[in-house]
Amino acid sequence: MDKVGMLRFTFPNLRAGSVIEYTYTMSEKNRLTIDNWNIQSDLPTAYASAAVITPTFSRVKEVVFGSDSVERRKEQLTKGLDKEKKIFFKKNIPSFEPEPYMSSYKDNVLRMGFMLFPQNAELLDDMSASSTWKVVANMVLKSTFFDEQFRKVIGGTEKIVDTARSIGSIDDRVHYLYNTLKKRIPETTDQTAAPEEIDNSWKTRTASSSQLNMILMNLLRRSGITCHPLLVSTQDNGMIKTDFPNFGQFNGLDVFVANSGSYYIMDASIKYQPYNLPPFNIINRQAFLLDPDNIHWISITDDRPFLKRQTDLFALVTPEGKIEGSATMKYYDYAKVLALDSSINDNDNPDQKFFNKKKEGLTLISSKQESVNNDDPLLQTIEFDYEPQQSGDFYFINPQLLASGKTNPFKKDKRVTDIDFGCSQEQHLTLQMEIPASFEVDHMPKTIILRSPDSSFVFTRIVSADRSNISYAHSLEIKKAMFSKEQYAGLYDFFSQVDAMLSEEIVLKKKK
């Protein structure tokens, strides 16, 4: 804190209900890097500006993030050392309101990034963005510190490496090293792109994300597995501008392994992340592969439904109208990772996880969780009682009685940002319900198939009933992860219809 100064000031006549308005100027000298300029916020702004002054022998390149533009002008300063002043400004900046399933805040809010070339700028002016990326990447790979981290023998890892070398299958070897490291260092401190010294991290069992993944690369290489660093920008950090060669855009270092046509992209810092599944926080993004023989950008995409949930309910309606039942819920891939991560912070009741425990009339009797520490789906089994809403002789049962309670996220008919679901998704629900002779079915939702014109969304519901049994099943499939804001009208219409269908209830009537 020795470099931080504090200034105290007063607002005359300040009292409850006052509206405070103030301005400030921030000046910095002798900087080799320039922080991003965040132009837009959650409040509207009448005017914002930023000025960058550099010697004429240096260069500043800038890039605008977001969907709007920024005005600019130049001035030459001749007093003292010849300098150039770039002034950037914007008027009448609207507030930014986050929207459901937008890629990230940083991808959409208006901001400006800068890249400073302090000297020899005329040489870089002639280089393409691709060439500049590769020049800097080679400098990183050939640096003594970076190269040494790959090869050094970390104290206490010799037996682990020997065991890995004895495993014939590359896949099994990767799996073993990945799990061994995660057990050794289960928690990370920070999300970083530049690893510091890794010896002490192994010893103290604490590491940043980049340190942990650098240790993984060290173990892999010493075990005979070719791997390379992969520079990434996570979803929260925003997408990379590949035409703007600035390594400050990265906030993560992951691990890339290629094996006979199969590829592994690994981040050991994500607690429940499987080794053979691309990390969810970089899916549908560009990443920079630091393979010394072929430095290039890769697109991290996968059309498989990695976010998949299956819920199977078995229920019995008692003569009194109460529902006794059991449910089995399976969470696959990303759904398993997200469910386990969310359950960590559930301090209210650790036995009531993965379903809406606030549902009125729902009582949990027992709960059991399985398959947390292996590659199988997460399995949750519960037993419950449920008292449906009642009006006279009519009982109203929504098959979503164990649903999360989430409403349709697309309620507004207009949208300004693109839609990012993260990955393809599937949600399946089945309900088998036995009804006693004292009840009869008064109303059932209809069997239906709802499909978007390009089949990127499909909702299917199949329902049947006889005198003693009700069978209900529905599935929602999202077969594409990314949609532009121009496609929103169709998406809005589809989800509005699905939301209405999921609200439809089974109505039972008690016989006289």
* Span 165-198, pLDDT tens digits: 999 999 999 999 999 999 999 888 889 988 888 9
Model pLDDT, residue 27:
67
Measured between alpha carbons, how far is 339 from 307 in angstroms, rounded to an integer?
11
Measured between alpha carbons, how far is 372 from 375 in angstroms, rounded to an integer?
8
In CATH terms, the fold of domain 129-300 is: C8orf32 fold (3.10.620)
Q: What are phi and psi for residue 59, nearest 5 degrees? A: -135, 145
**Mean pLDDT over residues 16-25, rounded?**
76
Model pLDDT, residue 139:
85
pLDDT band of 34, cuts 50, 70, 90: confident
pTM of the model: 0.83
**Mean pLDDT over residues 65-84, rounded?**
83
**Mean pLDDT over residues 110-118, rounded?**
82
Model pLDDT, residue 30:
59
The single-letter code of the amino acid at 307 is L
pLDDT: is 138 or 350 the higher one? 138
Distance set, CA 264 to CA 169, 170, 221, 378, 421 (Å): 14, 11, 14, 22, 22
**Where is average pLDDT lowest: 3-12, 132-141, 149-158, 430-439?**
3-12
66-102: string of b/e by CB count within 10 Å (b at 16+)? beeebeeeeeeeeeeeebbebebebeebeebeebebb
Measured between alpha carbons, how far is 442 from 448 in angstroms, rounded to an integer?
19
The single-letter code of the amino acid at 344 is I
Model pLDDT, residue 396:
95
Model pLDDT, residue 80:
67
Measured between alpha carbons, how far is 457 from 447 in angstroms, rounded to an integer?
17
Model pLDDT, residue 245:
86
What the block records as the tokens of 248 is 């400050």
The single-letter code of the amino acid at 17 is G
pLDDT greater than 90 at residue 248:
no
Q: Answer for the pair 235, 104: CB distance below 8 angstroms, yes or no.
A: yes
Bridge partner list, 386: 323, 362
**Mean pLDDT over residues 369-388, rounded?**
84
What's the pLDDT tens digit per position in 449-467?
999 988 999 999 999 999 8
H/E stretch holding 90 reads strand 83-93
Model pLDDT, residue 3:
52
Angle (CA) 230-34-208 rounded to 5° is 35
In CATH, the number for domain 307-510 is: 2.60.120.1130
SS3 249: helix
pLDDT band of 356, cuts 50, 70, 90: very low
pLDDT greater than 70 at residue 120:
no
DSSP 236: G
**Where is average pLDDT lowest: 110-124, 286-300, 407-421?**
110-124
pLDDT band of 364, cuts 50, 70, 90: confident
Residues 6 or more apart in contact with residue 352 via CB below 8 angstroms: 346, 364, 367
Give the highest mean pLDDT range of 18-27, 75-84, 159-168: 159-168
What's the pLDDT tens digit per position in 49-70?
999 888 877 778 888 988 788 9
What's the pLDDT tens digit per position in 252-302?
999 999 988 888 999 999 988 899 999 999 999 999 999 999 999 999 988
**Mean pLDDT over residues 394-412, rounded?**
83
Model pLDDT, residue 355:
44
Q: What are phi and psi for residue 95, nearest 5 degrees? A: -70, 155
H/E stretch holding 338 reads helix 333-344
H/E stretch holding 341 reads helix 333-344
pLDDT band of 408, cuts 50, 70, 90: confident
Q: Which ranges in 99-165 belong to alpha helices (H)?
A: 105-108, 121-125, 129-142, 144-151, 158-165
Residues 6 or more apart in contact with residue 77 via CB below 8 angstroms: 53, 83, 84, 85
Look at residues 238, 241, 180, 239 and name the one whose alpha carbon lies nearest to residue 212.
180
Angle (CA) 294-211-259 rounded to 5° is 40
So where are the chain's domains?
Answer: 37-125, 129-300, 307-510
pLDDT: is 357 or 94 the higher one? 94
Average pLDDT over the chain, rounded to whole?
87
pLDDT: is 425 or 4 the higher one? 425
**Mean pLDDT over residues 107-132, rounded?**
75
pLDDT greater than 70 at residue 389:
yes
Tell me the longest C-alpha to C-alpha distance in the chain: 99
Q: Answer for the pair 307, 425: CB distance below 8 angstroms, yes or no.
A: yes
Looking up tokens 């963005």, which residue turns up? 129
